[in-house]
Structure 1
Amino acid sequence: MRGGHHLLTAGVTALAPAIWGSTYLVTTEWLPPDRPLLATTVRALPGGLVLLALTCLLPTGPWWWRSLVLGTLNIGAFNVLLFVAAYRLPGGIAAMVMAVQPMIVLILSALLIGDKIRGTHVVACLLGAAGVAMLVIRRTGALSTVGVVAALAGAACMAVGITLTKRWGRPDRVGLLPFTAWQLIAGGLVSLPFTLILEGLPAALTGTNLLGFAYLTSFGAVLSYALWFRGIERLPALAVSFLALGSPIVATLLGYLFLRQKLATVQIVGVIAIIVAVLLAQTRPPGSRR
């Protein structure tokens, strides 16, 4: 893949974590309080069913269980943990904890895909984590242990999901939309029984709640995951994982714009550090090709 095309693909893929970065604001401001499982199910299942109805293509052979595994890791379990972290931690702190995800991908891609660990990758991991810390660190009270554990587990889910999606690829003659639909449906079905048993359905929803759910389904699931899976196909696993660091940048900027949160100099330095880390992760060895 040529350098210009590689960066263009990375830029398009980066739209997905940019959308996910808005999840923190939507969760805290628009959705019913303390409903992470409901948010996960409504985010994934309706959009997946719509895509399946449009494409009319079901998995075959091993792709039944592979779709279940990928849907659980990439969407079902990941989003449950994401929303638990978002409800129990400040959005920036949740993003900071989940910044360990590229480091996990670095190890898994070496073990499962055979990618070589380069010094540039290690520097990018450290720089990216430091940038996220500078971007979101604030003086806060005691942090929720459940929230921190959920954020760490969510990072692990995303890392394993990226690596397995890259390793297994996509079935022959199956388009990106049905591939996305299978995972959205699998993720939604995994979270559905937990939603009904542990949370139940709210007695009433406001217009703002409905708007928030509509946003999560359309942009936060269908569009973003289609772009994300496209990027995993075309980019190295580690390069894709670093693009997820754009999420805390967007979360911080939205907090500055809509919640009147101040943007300190150290946070600006953090943004620059993350951008440099992402660019370092996109570099490829001389002579490498897709």
Structure 2
Amino acid sequence: MTQALSRSRAGSGTAPPGGTLGLTALTATAPISWGTTYLVTTEFLPAGYPLVSGVIRALPAGLILLAVTRKLPHGEWLWRSLVLGTLNIGALFALLFVAAYRLPGGIAGTLTAVQPLFVVGLAFLLLGEKPTRWRLGWGLVGVLGVGLIVLRGGLTFDLLGILAGIGAAGVMAGGIVLTKRWGRPAGVGAATIAGWQLTAGGLVLVPLALVFEGLPSGLDLRALGGYAWLSVVGALLSFLVWFNGIGKLPVVAVSFLSLLSPVVATILGGLFLGESLTPWQGVGFALALAAVAAAQLTPEVARNLLRIPAGTTKGE
């Protein structure tokens, strides 16, 4: 892990073996690991401490990265790190918890799946990346696919929960785009940026966790193992590769990778919790994966792969 952190500190560097495909696959490991959060939380962690779990997940990982990189933000990066850490970590966690508690049947997961569409709009406004019909269309397909996966039973709508779910998608979209817009200071790599943001996001959650939840007592080895997984894999390593990918890949394409999280959560639910897929969920699973894959391609490349005659998707 130390070697990986050292390479990351060196700056943007070069793409991993396999070029863009290899870098995309590496970046995809971040949302894949985030998809394990539901299983770990429900099966390993003490109930009733979502904000404390957010702090334990973010803050130790951030402090470890700060200790390894030995760089602190200064100048404008003091407030930028606070803004990005709040969006990507602190506010995101808080809004997800509100949505999860107030919305039944996985509706929160469906709402956060609109993130790629938010990124398309913000990337146009802040980065000048013009939206294409190709990615807009696949964004809608991805939302539909995730919706088919996570929606179960009757729907009960709670306005605050709905606003929180949409807000979670919005703050992470804002964090992705601003991370791309601001880049990094000279000589600062992905490990340093991840350390700054995880630390800032964790510190933002500390007072909320203490006020509303307090500290859990009597943690057993099972809970400690769950927290270790979330902090080391679900935060330290995952955000390192995530911020590295954001710095090198098209921002809209990266945002589609977040659709992998509910897909992985569904797979794990089936394997370990006996949550079998309905036929419609199977369709949704296929649509979500198709949207993730298609968003990494241009229409021209897709035509070549499928051998579609040129001119049939003109104007993408």
> Do they superpose with TM above 0.5?
yes
* Alpha-carbon displacement from aligned partner over 1:204-231 (angstroms, at most 9, x marks no partner): 2232221211111101100110111011
Residues 24-35 of structure 1: pairs in structure 2 closer than 5 A: 24-35=38-49
Q: Percent identity?
A: 52
CA distance in 2, matches of 1:241, 1:175: 20
Compare relative contact order (CA 8 Å, sep 6+) and give the higher one, 1 or 2: 1
* Alpha-carbon displacement from aligned partner over 1:141-200 (angstroms, at most 9, x marks no partner): 635555433322111111000000010011110122111111110001111111112211
CA distance in 2, matches of 1:27, 1:109: 33
Alignment partner of 1:98 is 2:112: yes
User: 2:153 matched to which residue of 1?
Assistant: 139
* Alpha-carbon displacement from aligned partner over 1:245-271 (angstroms, at most 9, x marks no partner): 000100100110111011122222212
Find 2:271's aligned residue among 233, 257, 279.
257
Q: Cα gap change, 1:208/1:148 in structure 2, threshold over 3 Å: closer, same or farther?
A: farther
CA distance in 2, matches of 1:114, 1:99: 23
* Count of aligned pairs: 286
User: 2:53 matched to which residue of 1?
Assistant: 39
Per-residue deviation, 1:232:
0.4
2:87 partner SS: helix
Per-residue deviation, 1:82:
2.5
1:28 partner SS: helix
User: 1:16 matched to which residue of 2?
Assistant: 30
User: 1:214 matched to which residue of 2?
Assistant: 228
CA distance in 2, matches of 1:149, 1:211: 33
Per-residue deviation, 1:29:
2.0
Gaps of 5+ in 1: none
**RMSD between aligned alpha carbons?**
2.1
Alignment partner of 1:152 is 2:157: no
1:38 alignment partner AA: V
User: 1:244 matched to which residue of 2?
Assistant: 258
Q: Is the 8 A contact 1:256 1:262 kept in 2?
A: yes
Bigger Cα displacement from structure 2, 81-90 vs 222-231: 81-90
Find 1:196's aligned residue among 210, 227, 233.
210
CA distance in 2, matches of 1:88, 1:220: 24
Residues 56-205 of structure 1: pairs in structure 2 closer than 5 A: 56-89=70-103, 92-140=106-154, 142=156, 145-205=159-219
Gaps of 5+ in 2: 1-14, 302-316
Q: Which has the larger radius of gyration?
A: 2
